[in-house]
Chain A
Amino acid sequence: MAQTTTPPPSLLGAGDARGRFGDSFFRVLTLAAGVLIFVILALVSLYLILESLPAIGASPEELSAGVPFWQYVLPLALGTLMASAIAILLSTPVSIAVALFISHYAPARVSKTVGYVIDILAAIPSVVFGAWGMTTLGPALVPVYEWLSRASAGVPGLSLVFGTPSTTGRTLLTAGIVLAIMILPIITSQCREIFIQTPRLHEEAALALGSTKWDMIKATVFPFARNGIVSAVMLGLGRALGETMAVTLVLAPGALTANLIGVGNKTIPAEIALNYPEAFGLRQSELIAAGLILFVITLAVNMVARWIVSRYAEFSGAN
Chain B
Amino acid sequence: MSKRIEAHDVDIFYGKFKAVEGVSMTIEPRNVTAFIGPSGCGKTTFLRSINRMHEVLPGAHVTGRITLDGDNIYDPGVDPVTVRSMVGMVFQRPNPFPTMSIRDNVLAGYKINGKKMSKSDADDLVEQSLRGANLWEEVKDRLDRPGSGLSGGQQQRLCIARTVAVHPQVILMDEPCSALDPISTLAIEDLIRELKEDYTIVIVTHNMQQAARVSDTTAFFNIEGTGKPGKLIEMGPTEKIFSTPEVQATEDYITGRFG
Contacts and interface: CB of A to CB of B under 8 A. Distances in A.
Interface string A180-192: 0000000000000
A212 interface: yes
Given A204-B91, A208-B84, A223-B99, 19 more contacts: A202-B98, A205-B159, A206-B108, A208-B88, A208-B91, A209-B88, A210-B81, A210-B85, A211-B84, A215-B113, A219-B97, A219-B111, A224-B98, A224-B99, A316-B99, A317-B98, A317-B148, A319-B146, A319-B149
A230 B82 CA distance: 34
Given A209-B84, A211-B81, A204 B99 contact: no
Contacts of A219: 97, 108, 111-112
B50 to A, nearest CB: 11
Nearest to B101: A315
Interface of A: 108, 199, 201-202, 204-212, 215-216, 218-220, 223-224, 226, 312, 314-319
Given A209-B166, A210-B113, A317 B56 contact: no
B166 A210 contact: yes
B95 A205 contact: yes
B99 A201 contact: no
26 contacts: A108-B58, A202-B95, A202-B98, A204-B53, A204-B56, A204-B89, A205-B96, A205-B97, A206-B97, A207-B53, A208-B51, A208-B163, A209-B109, A209-B162, A209-B163, A210-B82, A210-B113, A211-B112, A212-B113, A219-B97, A219-B111, A223-B99, A226-B99, A312-B99, A315-B100, A315-B101
User: Per DSSP, are chain A's interface residues mostly helix, strand or loop, or mixed?
Assistant: helix
Q: How large is the interface on B (under 10, 10 to 19, 20 to 34, 35 or more residues)?
A: 20 to 34
A215 B110 CA distance: 11
Contacts of A315: 98-101, 146
Interface of B: 51, 53, 56, 58, 81-82, 84-86, 88-89, 91, 93, 95-101, 108-109, 111-114, 146, 148-149, 159, 162-163, 166
Q: Find the residue from A210, A220, A314 having the highest chain B CB count within 10 A.
A: A210
A210 B108 CA distance: 10
A252 B145 CA distance: 54
A224 B98 CA distance: 8
A317 B93 CA distance: 15
